[in-house]
Structure 1
Amino acid sequence: MVEVDWESEEVQSYLRLARSQIQNDDGLIENLQRIRKEWHLSQADIAFDLGITQPAISALESGNADPRLGTVGRYANAMGYVIEYRVVPYREGDDTKADDAGQETKKSAKSTGEAGRVHS
């Protein structure tokens, strides 16, 4: 069995990095959910567009599912958005908040709001 020194700087740095990634992931899902609600779309509307069930959308939004990147992208596409992925170096002490994670989304549809919807 491998002994892990949980107090070592290397392990603590890795844990901080992991927490930062979780916050960013959560922030992205929260922003998609916020947009869905602003557009007065139900979970069932999004589920229909994605070809999945409403409980699957509920699990995704509540953090009880670990969706594939493609699923998250299709969720955004159903509302006329795209997800932009960036790989950036982790900077210790970076004040990026989970709410800022959703700023990585980019509006691709026209301002009508329905341009990206598969159905109404």
Structure 2
Amino acid sequence: MTTEQRLALALAQTERGLVEELIELRKQADLSATEVAKRINRHKSSISKFEARKTDPQMSTVLRYAHAIGAMVEIRVLPFSEWEEAKGVQASREEPNSG
């Protein structure tokens, strides 16, 4: 797998994991999706789509959802190579260019 492919996969997993963590915290807070929708002045269907990952929400929506459930979202950006190293990911060899 190339570095670009590994990066794309890692970013997709990060997004999925973020939503899953938010949903889990909502449930732990004993809040329904309807209650979250009310708290952030959105229709319940928008929360359902968010939780099912059927939309690509803006960062402001993610943060408002987190606020509604009493959660903090921590965001940090670093070079992918540093992230892989920190996670202990062993990079597979990149595929040679065909051409």
Q: TM-score scaled by structure 2?
A: 0.78
Counterpart in 2 of 1:54? 44
One-letter amino acid matched to 1:69: M
Q: Larger % of strand: which? A: 1
Give, in whole Å, the separation in 1 of the partners of 2:24 and 2:50: 13
- State the structure with bigger RCO (CA 8 A, min sep 6), 1 or 2: 2
TM-aligned CA deviation for residue 40 of structure 1: 1.4
Matched, 1:68 2:75: no
CA RMSD of aligned residues (A): 1.8
Identity of aligned residues (%): 35
User: Structure 2: any 5+ residue segments left out of the alignment?
Assistant: 90-99
1:24-39 to 2 correspondences below 5 Å: 24-39=14-29
Q: TM-score scaled by structure 1?
A: 0.65
SS of 2:72's partner is: strand
For these two proteins, the number of residue pairs brought into alignment is 86
One-letter amino acid matched to 1:14: E
Please say if residues 33 and 48 of structure 2, whose CA atoms lie closer than 8 Å, have aligned partners that are also in contact. yes
Distance change (3 Å), C-alpha of 1:27 and 1:95: farther
TM-aligned CA deviation for residue 37 of structure 1: 0.8
Q: Larger % of helix: which? A: 2
User: Structure 1: any 5+ residue segments left out of the alignment?
Assistant: 1-8, 97-120
One-letter amino acid matched to 1:20: A
Match of 1:42 among 9, 32, 35: 32
Counterpart in 1 of 2:94? none
